[in-house]
Amino acid sequence: MSLNLGDLVHEDSKSSRWRQSITWSAVVVLGLLVYEFTTQPILGVIVICSKFGWNDFLIAYLLQRVDPNRGRSRAVFWFCLASGVLKVVFASMFLFMGLFLILGAPLGPGAFQAMLLRGISAFSVFLLGYLLITITVLRGAYYAEQTQTKVWLTTYWLLENSRNRHGSKTKQENLVDGLLALGMIPAWVLGFSLFPGLGSILEPQGLLLIIFIGFGLLWSGLLFLFLCKTFLRIKRRIVATNPYECWGCDALGQAMIAKISNGNRVRLLVQINRVQTQSDAEQSKP
């Protein structure tokens, strides 16, 4: 199967624009309905911002259908989910903060409680989203290790920004690097939080407080070094240094390595899935 990538990149038909407009309109309406029924603006914002991770979720789903390498598709599936959740979480937080500044603080006797509730709900959703990122990244790393798969993911944003100030191309970056690093942060936060928790129980004072703070800083540094070594070890085992360590030169490999947006990548995977379905149907005929 041959893929005409050049035509696909430059294709921008009226029907495609019309579908995008309908999709965004439907997502915005759904977000407003969620806000009306739950009275939680952060939930409506998340529904609207789910569109930012939509293509990553579709890529994860389609890979399960078209990739004959089941070990690779399972590992890449979880990293695609992590990429989508990352985009949704950060887009939601930026949009929520923008809406908060535009709408201003609530007035009245319950204004402080309303602001506090907004802040708590936003922080809780951000924490939950970040934990989902960590879980999906670790899940992907586990499957990559089990199947001895080197994982490579790239995005249109990374490709567009992989130029130096002179305009020449630099080395392509693997998105899995950043996802893996982000997945390690909660481990550092959790490990560091144990020390202040111990301090609240012991309640050191005077010279003991200074010594306790010094040990806390030392613990933080040692924990950081340990997690850095862990990150580098995992990276060497599962992260591909170039796209061809993960993907081949077939149609699927072209689709996953091509310098196109994730929206166009989804369309390529849909084409591959359609061709494979037709081929399977023809082979099943007597």
Other beta carbons within 10 Å of 23: 12
In a domain? residue 215 = no
In a domain? residue 109 = yes
Lowest model confidence (mean pLDDT) among 106-115, 209-218, 223-232 = 106-115
In a domain? residue 85 = yes
Determine the average pLDDT of the residues in 1-24: 53
Determine the average pLDDT of the residues in 55-84: 92
Range of the domain at 79: 14-174+240-284
* Number of separate domains in the chain: 1
In a domain? residue 8 = no
| 154-178: pLDDT as tens digits | 876 555 555 444 455 555 678 898 8
In a domain? residue 87 = yes
In a domain? residue 158 = yes
The pLDDT of residue 130: 81
In a domain? residue 184 = no
The pLDDT of residue 122: 67
CA dist., res. 132 & res. 141, Å (int): 14
CA dist., res. 185 & res. 138, Å (int): 12
Non-local CB neighbours of 76 within 8 Å, separated by 6+ positions:
60, 63, 67, 140, 149, 151, 153, 246
In a domain? residue 180 = no
